[in-house]
Chain A
Amino acid sequence: MNSQSTAMRESSSDWQVNESRGIASAVPIRRFYWSVRRELWENHSIYITPLAVAALAVLGYLILTLGVPVPMPDPRLLDEPYSMAAAFVVGIFYSLDTLHDERRDRSILFWKSLPVSDLTTVLSKASIPLLVLPLFSFAIAAATEVIEMGLTSVVRPAGDLSVATPSTSVFRISLGLLLYHTVTVNVLWHAPIYSWLLLVSGWARRATFLWAALPWIAICAVEKIAFNTSYCAAMLRDRFVGGPEAVQGTGRFVDALSRFTPGRFLSSPSLWIGLVVAAVFLTASVRLRRYQGAI
């Protein structure tokens, strides 16, 4: 009996040692992975909306190609990443709701009953607009492009030279620009927007949208009245529609090529200030979640 219980104790302590080693290495990534999956389960709009928008764009393109006779601009150059605009909108609403919803439906008490830290939770939520949505919408935009190229070659009679035939090399440049656009604008440039929304989402008890927007409107109004300047408004506009150094989201890619200036983008102070601000907002969100319970 005695030796048996000693053996049991030993084996259980072995198990604990093994387990704590396991926890130290693999488990943080595992927890992060499952936390992100959880977000995707909850928010179908993350993948449905960009897909739906891209499908509509392809459909619209098809109708355009079939119905309108020549001349027509090179369809590949017309390619605005609609799916990316959709992802931006989805990301905004997601960030504004996610930390608020878990408190409102009290599920935060369930999430907090599991060994997942506030840091992991907030980072997994931030990764939706900053990682998952950009990557996903990039993939969709690339796929859309391929489909549209395929459609062009089927619908257009061979030898119709009024349309530039899309070639593989052009396609590659276009994909590269798209990826550049995704990383610079959708991830780095927009990071402070999403982080601010996450912070408000974790803080406000209700009306998250108002709390997110009102302070900025107030600052802009006060600035306008007091100094008759509009630096704040200009800053916000830059942040939303792509900064001076960032590739314009709505431009044609042939124009965009001239804006492919990673050196200028990376050396711009507003990029780095924005990233620091985003880090501050995210840190605050992590700290805040510790104190938050159900509302």
Chain B
Amino acid sequence: MTATRPPAPKFSGGSAAADGAARFDLLRVPVVGRFLRWRGSRTALQIPVLLLSVVMIAHAFFGPALAPKNLAALLTWVHFRGGIVLVLLFAGNFFCMACPFMLPRQWARRWVSPRWNWPRSLRNKGPAILLFVGVLFFYEWLDLWADPWATGVLIVGYFAAAFLVDLLFRRASFCKFVCPVGQFNFLGSTMSPLEVTVRDPGVCGDCHTKDCIRGRRAPGANGDGSAGSRPILQRGCELDLFQPRKVGNLDCTFCLDCVYACPHDNVGILVRLPGEELAVGGTRSSIGDLDRRKDWTILTVVFVFGALLNAFAMISPVYSLQQAIARATGLTVEWPILGFLFALALIVEPAVLLGGAAWLTRRAVSSSLSLGAILKKFSRSLVPLGFGVWLAHYGFHFLTGALTVIPVAQQAVRVATGRELLGAPRWQWGGLPESVVFPMELGFLGLGLLGTLMVGWRIASELAPERTFRAFAPWAFVSVLLFASACWILTQPMDMRGTFVAG
């Protein structure tokens, strides 16, 4: 893991080129690589997911109102979430690649061209952070996991939002600035073993067309010399990631437009050390310096502490706490109590823990950096642990309930057609026993802690080469504390409740 990899070493060629050639490249794998290099591969992946989404929406509105019997609730809250984290862990951001929300907007853009650029004041993660927190809040408040109809509304709303945003605003505005699932995937994919990157930086140094970001248009020129309305032959990166200066997976949707656009066949899906990019400082294409991005820091905090909050909300003590608050305040409705818990978990707790760690680090190494600067620098070291918590939580639901989709689908077909075309529902099919999944959950958390400590150490060594341990110790303490909290949550009895009993 290298902490101080310069931001644009890909221009330098030399050993980097040899390194790139030696690394495993998914695009060079016989069948899979050939498929991914095909320009229609993304659409080919999106179409079945879109069709599945249509089935889910139909089942949400016209199927059974019982979540365990409904494909919308089951696939959204068990398989989709579990699938995302496992694919991120073992491969990369392939969900964004197969994202069904992009397909309708893609087709619509053939007839309607977006008119505006995304507002300058909103070119940050602010809207996505609000939506991220909003989804977490409404998930708890409205018991979305138990409500197929509300889940269907969420899916339709998602399609509508992606469609409208990208029909009004140019480029991939929805993915980059709005989509909360996308932001989750961006941060999660920092832990992925694969990244879309250049094979030989030296080739980029000699490239003058920069098609990977500009794209390619049909030959010819308009009278004013601009690209004008010449048809696009191949899009460049719609998220403004310039491959030679791109670092890691942040903001990368794995759309592979850069792969198809590069005239030198110099972009691949290469293997790398998961989490390495979190230890890298400096400027990144289209993102800038993470150490200066307050919005990325807030997103990271929501990602990490939201993981704990989301898991905490599933266990018995949260209901005792809610009832205690209800008794103390006299409140008989849930949303203000939930709001209080959210403020506690996403604002107060991070402010105390991370602010305290930053203050101790600053004192320990007599740094001239502000508290905020230290906090921004170290906060990203918590991403591996946060991802470990999401993985443990969503992995639990997925692994213990993976096969439940089979009887639910069998039942849906039986009800829809009146015939058992998929066979009689096998309701006894579930998944792995909890006793088997629990050690896996602890393993995910342990790996997350290890990654967090490694990244934290690298950041500390960059901040204070002579007093690394002093700079690192407060963050190690916070990391272990969060790890212990997550372990405690996992050992608590599950109590998946949708009812709020006040008083």
Q: Do A and B bind each other?
A: no
Residues of A within 8 A of B (CB): none
